[in-house]
Amino acid sequence: MSTPTDDPFSPQPLPQESPSTTPSRTAVLDREEAAEEKVEPGDHERFAHYVQKNKITESAVTGTPVIALCGKVWVPGRDPKRFPVCPTCKEIYEGLQRPGGGKDDGGGSGS
């Protein structure tokens, strides 16, 4: 039993055991893994595209490709905030937002 003056962080004595029953000890090293997305070849050519939000959700569930305003067809899988907005998609979307320019398609961005 310990007394209140014992330091709880001081090394504790090991029990005396015979050499044949001495347990082996293994050290465990903890490491932190970075959860960031790796940059792949061609990422500098990629853009975040405008797609209907409900289509992005559907694609995430089913894995079906989506079609961006600019016509690009792909299955979204990357964070669109990492890439610049596609200039063609942006131009088309802004044209839809102008009075008399068309209806709102509920566009979102996806990559």
Average pLDDT of span 78-103: 83
pLDDT at 58: 92
Which backbone phi and psi does 99 adopt, to 5 degrees? -60, 130
pLDDT at 82: 87
| Residue pLDDT, tens place only, 16-72 | 655 556 566 777 767 665 555 555 555 546 889 999 999 999 998 999 999 999 999
Contact 89, 105 (CB under 8 A): no
pLDDT at 104: 47
Q: What percent of the chain has pLDDT over 90?
A: 28
CB burial of 31-56 (b: ≥16 within 10 Å; e: otherwise) equals: eeeeeeeeeeeeeeebbbbbbbeebb
The residue that leads in pLDDT, 78 or 5, is: 78
For the chain, give every domain's residue range.
50-111
Contact 66, 59 (CB under 8 A): yes
